[in-house]
Amino acid sequence: MKIVSIVGSPRGAKGATAALLNLVLDGARSKGAETEMIVIKGPEVKPCRACDVCHKVGVCPQKDQFNVIKDKIIAADGFVLATPNYIFHVTAQLKAFIDRCCGVVHCIGFEGKYGASVVTAGGGDEEDIADYLNHFVAITGGIPIGSVWATMGQIQGQKFPEDFPEDIKGKAFALGERLVTARQNKEKSPRYQSVTAQFAERMRSLIEWRKEEWPWEYEYWRKHRGGV
Ligand SMILES: Cc1cc2nc3c(=O)[nH]c(=O)nc-3n(C[C@H](O)[C@H](O)[C@H](O)COP(=O)(O)O)c2cc1C
């Protein structure tokens, strides 16, 4: 089983968010998963240019790491999205990746992947950001199984992961374990199942309406999603 994770932070693998994410990945590995951490500090995934090409031909024309990362998620069993709180939201780095997934969103392209989210913040407000990330997992067709977060200002010391409180370390490890067992047991998410279904209906209508402009997405829906 493969779990791919993305951390969007200029501090990359040395930051607090990557440290918390690493504990989640430790948990996933303890249940036999192979894991990968992909760092987006900035240039790896540039912002969406709203060119519409992904909807017309099925692939983003920008020459950076986006298509590679997208394909890694499609080939994986699960994915974890990790971000620090930057002014009450995900970082611009992670948001660039999310925006570039516009074609994935139209095609519910991460269908069946198990997802989780990781957030750190100086002072709080992590839960709303984690909910946003889990919503993104759901509208791309994934099954969100949970989140873990840490308010760094309340944590003594600066060495991570050692200085994370035991309960946060335990939650992070358990989240990684659950990501693997949820996939093994083919669990459903009662909270998000209807979100995914309703959003897919919205995309079906959109693709039908724009079929002349977005031929690739129309064909994708016709061939792989039972038509529009
Ligand atoms: C530009 C910027 C904006 C931030 N905004 C917030 C914020 O609104 N609320 C908050 O609690 N922490 C905020 N922080 C603090 C970070 O979320 C916190 O230090 C986080 O753990 C950093 O993670 P990292 O080491 O993985 O980059 C901000 C930090 C930066 C650099």
Residue 158 pLDDT > 90: no
pLDDT for residue 157: 84
The answer to whether the beta carbons of residues 81 and 117 sit under 8 Å apart is yes
Q: Give me the half-sphere count of Cα atoms (radius 13 Å) on the Cβ side of residue 66.
A: 26
Report the C-alpha gap between 135 and 92 in whole angstroms.
18
User: Stretch 123-134: mean pLDDT, rounded?
Assistant: 96
Please, which pLDDT band fits residue 227 given cuts at 50, 70 and 90?
A: confident
DSSP β-bridge partners for residue 5: 37, 80
**What does the block give as tokens for 30?**
């303890």
Nearest CA to ligand 1 atom 3: 86
Is the bond preceding 190 in cis, omega lying within 30 degrees of 0? no
Query: Has residue 57 got a pLDDT over 90?
Result: yes
Structure token digits, residue 209: 């309406």
From 85, 89, 129, 148, mutation site for ligand 1 pocket: most ligand atoms within 8 A of C-beta: 85
Measure 155 CA to ligand 1 centroid, in angstroms.
14
pTM (two decimals): 0.97
pLDDT of residue 226 exceeding 90, the answer is: no
- Segments making up each domain of the chain, as ranges: 2-224
CA proximity to 115, closest of 183, 69, 66: 183
- 168 — pLDDT class (breaks 50, 70, 90): very high
Is 73 touching ligand 1 by the criterion CB < 6 Å?
no
Average pLDDT over residues 219-226: 92
In which element (H, E) is residue 83 found? Answer: strand 78-84
189 lines ligand 1 (CB under 6 A): no
Distances in Å between the alpha carbon of 157 and those of 83, 102, 125, 150, 169?
21, 40, 21, 14, 15
Cβ contact 99:48 at 8 Å: yes
Q: What is the position in ligand 1's atom list of the atom closest to the CA of 125? A: 11
Fold of 2-224: Rossmann fold (3.40.50)
Distance from residue 124's CA to the centre of ligand 1 (Å): 9
pLDDT category at 193 given cuts 50, 70, 90 is very high
